[in-house]
Structure 1
């Protein structure tokens, strides 16, 4: 991307432009704060590139529009925030079972319930464990900067097509609303849906795309195919970042905007003589269990930091097992922790011997 001009853009708008660069020409959504600027951006931009924008009457309608468009082989996206994402869960489980590619954006806000419009990470369980019914998974990407959101949005469309699976870009209101300089890479769009898309049966046998089978053995066969696909995703698509972990004796684990905040915590701790490093998962599913487990062999303490009550904490503990002590610090309901308070809690675990 050398020589490419950087543009100052808001996070959700940058995601919208990245989707267009990736070949998305279909967007359906319903207004909800703090992601409304993405819907507004797509309403303006898609007609300029020959695309289709529709404001649905609800999130339930929007996800089913995504379902239909994905079935005919078009690159399609929707976006929402936490309560709206909850309303989409049944449709998402249909799309996952039907093995269709689609991209979702959830700009998380405080909860439970209607909550507030401040940034939060309280949707982690819903995003990574399958918020609808049945045994299905989404590929979940957690960017920590606006530039990374651009890159992961482009990747999301490629992964969705590669595995015929819905992909979720999971951010919070901080990344969604902040403005940063970004650059858009040249994108080579190449995907082949000729073997499955519903394009009319003229000249070929008819096709059926469904998430329904009344025969339990037939439905189990569909489920086994899904599980085999998820194993391939877990083998091939794990992504993470390590920051100053080479000599780390203490490790912070955080994702998204909190991972960004914790880079400052690491630098501050180093200035005080504490050998702290950061492990930041980028794919929240598939989760980077193995690389985190290897780092756990080298450190005496792991501190997981989230804007939740401790949801990713469960995955951290699965990765670490009994190798070292795992502590947690979190804020909820849209309260964003500062680097100073995180460092203070880290030092309290270190110097009181609680680990």
Structure 2
């Protein structure tokens, strides 16, 4: 076991990226993720790496495109409105099949909204996030330790599949402090970046980085190639936790990120009142863990309840996974309000018919 260090979530993300071999960071300050940029600004130049505060989020994501095209590990971070501004660049990066890590520390919206934590960017992250036929892996950590681990995994997955990868946390995870350990990870076999632009490591061949296909036959072929890659990601990279899901349950909660932590407390509170709950916690919100629902569908008396800090965005994926086999319920708080365990429990009692 390594030594544990008390760190703020945003700073832990930045340190994890540095330890993962991040060569360049391009960003722009926005609450509640500015500490990611601030940490990188302080640390990256000291170790001979690139930090640049761009003039805008649009500029930052296009700098990421350039660095990724040169074959270096690169990251950017922002919060909800800033990710919207990066959307065009994210689509270009996906189209050009370039690896990078994008961090979104979500705040309430729409519009400028507020600076409190939310999960209202779920649709944006998982249903494309920009134009065109593309998807990207989206990790949803529920602790700062998991944030660290998933940043490191995200860089590997980006390189293996030549894809942008998003780490999506909420403002609470970005701002809170917890002890973290920077563990030695098992090294995944990474492909050689022989596709990268000319010049890196003395490469002689001339590679062109591009996402433009003017002939429809060529673009269709490219889209089908991407679709096959996304199927591989679904097959190999889906992650989830099933908590207290063994045996018969009155109801199974579905939650991710900070909300999942709250739901684990609800399970203990409900048990004291004779109500038996489980929890499915998606760790990847794309690919979505359909398998977890197939494993539990026969064990839940009253179906599932999606608990979110949104107006009910993930509930659509829950319904798609359940396929009408059991009821799907919803409880959510929005606008930066965080669900309270007692309120979730009251909703559970309403569904299952009160305490036992």
Verify same fold: TM over 0.5.
Answer: yes
- Who is 1:239 aligned against? 239
Aligned partners of 1:139 and 1:285 also within 8 Å: yes
Aligned partners of 1:16 and 1:42 also within 8 Å: yes
1:212-223 equivalence runs, <5 A: 212-223=212-223
Pair 1:126-2:124 in alignment: yes
Aligned partner of 2:71 among 70, 73, 81:
73
SS of residue in 2 equivalent to 1:54: strand
- Who is 1:224 aligned against? 224
TM-score normalized by the length of structure 1: 0.96
- Who is 2:209 aligned against? 209
Distance 2:174 2:6 in 1: 13
- Who is 2:194 aligned against? 195
Per-residue deviation, residues 231-285 of structure 1 (Å, max 9, x unmatched): 0001111100011110233100000110111000111111111110111000111
Distance 2:252 2:18 in 1: 38
- Who is 2:347 aligned against? 345
Per-residue deviation, residues 184-219 of structure 1 (Å, max 9, x unmatched): 012558634342111339774321221111111111
SS of residue in 2 equivalent to 1:48: helix
TM-score normalized by the length of structure 2: 0.96
Aligned partners of 2:25 and 2:50 also within 8 Å: yes
Aligned partners of 2:280 and 2:292 also within 8 Å: no
- Who is 2:21 aligned against? 23
Aligned partner of 1:109 among 107, 122, 125:
107
- Who is 2:165 aligned against? 167
Per-residue deviation, residues 128-168 of structure 1 (Å, max 9, x unmatched): 01111100001000000000000000000000000000000
1:194-343 equivalence runs, <5 A: 194-200=193-199, 204-247=204-247, 248-301=249-302, 302-343=304-345
Aligned partners of 1:73 and 1:193 also within 8 Å: no
Per-residue deviation, residues 285-305 of structure 1 (Å, max 9, x unmatched): 110012223212210221110
SS of residue in 2 equivalent to 1:68: helix
Aligned partner of 2:84 among 86, 93, 99:
86
SS of residue in 2 equivalent to 1:107: strand
Structure 2 unmatched runs, 5+: none
Distance 1:259 1:317 in 2: 18
Give the 3 Å change call, closer, same or farther, for CA 351–52 of structure 1 in structure 2: same
Aligned partners of 2:198 and 2:207 also within 8 Å: no
Distance 2:82 2:203 in 1: 41
Distance 1:20 1:199 in 2: 25
Aligned partners of 2:198 and 2:205 also within 8 Å: no
Give the 3 Å change call, closer, same or farther, for CA 194–345 of structure 1 in structure 2: closer
Once superposed, what is the RMSD of the aligned Cα atoms?
Answer: 1.5
Distance 1:148 1:170 in 2: 12
Aligned partners of 1:297 and 1:323 also within 8 Å: no
Worse overlay, 300-309 or 69-78: 300-309
Distance 1:24 1:303 in 2: 39
